[in-house]
Amino acid sequence: MEKNGSHNSDGKVNQHLAKGGKADASNGLRSLFVDELKDIYWAEKALTKALPKMIEKATSEELVEALEMHLEQTEEQVVRLEKVFEIISEKAEAKKCEAMAGLIKEAEEIMESTEEGVVRDAGIIAAGQKVEHYEIATYGTLCAFAKMIGESEAGSILHLTLTEEKAADEKLSEISDTINVEALAEN
Ligand SMILES: [Fe+2]
Ligand SMILES: [Fe+2]
């Protein structure tokens, strides 16, 4: 005896149940996961090009050092994402991330509209933190999705990056404490 929809002779009830079934739902989440991976893959690659420009425009030694360190991490994060694609048997493909493109454009605008020194440094930190927050949101989601679809190895790798993004954000906050005071004194 059929458990569900046995009263339905044309099988429509069963078809409906299959559509909302677990296998289909996890496929949808999996493709969303892959899409998000492609998005952040593009974003990280774009950052490996944007960060050197920010380093070049920054004055504070502490800020330059923090950005240089994060550039190295970002290059590693790109490689890490390639590893994740490999683990989940997907081709490493970058899909333009409009949000990151916009954040990078804003960073460039801030650097163009300020004079070299502490005020520009404060602007670079502001732009940098927006980038970090975007990355934290993305990696947080990716870790949650990886767990849901049973990709625990991919999830642990993504979690390493999440930890680095959070630390980078905290470091920028710490540096801004001094920079903002100096920037205010410049007025
Ligand atoms: Fe990153
Ligand atoms: Fe980052």
At 95-147, the pLDDT tens digits run 999 999 999 999 999 999 999 999 999 999 999 999 999 999 999 999 999 99
Mean pLDDT of 18-22: 43
- Which among 142, 35, 50 has a CA at the least distance from the CA of 105? 50
* Structure confidence at residue 17 (pLDDT): 39
- Which among 74, 7, 4 has a CA at the least distance from the CA of 41? 74
CA of 136 to the centre of ligand 2 (A): 8
pLDDT at 30 over 90: yes
Q: Which pLDDT band holds residue 26 (cuts at 50, 70, 90)?
A: low
Q: Which pLDDT band holds residue 187 (cuts at 50, 70, 90)?
A: confident
CA of 161 to the centre of ligand 2 (A): 8
* pTM for the whole structure: 0.85
CA of 48 to the centre of ligand 1 (A): 9
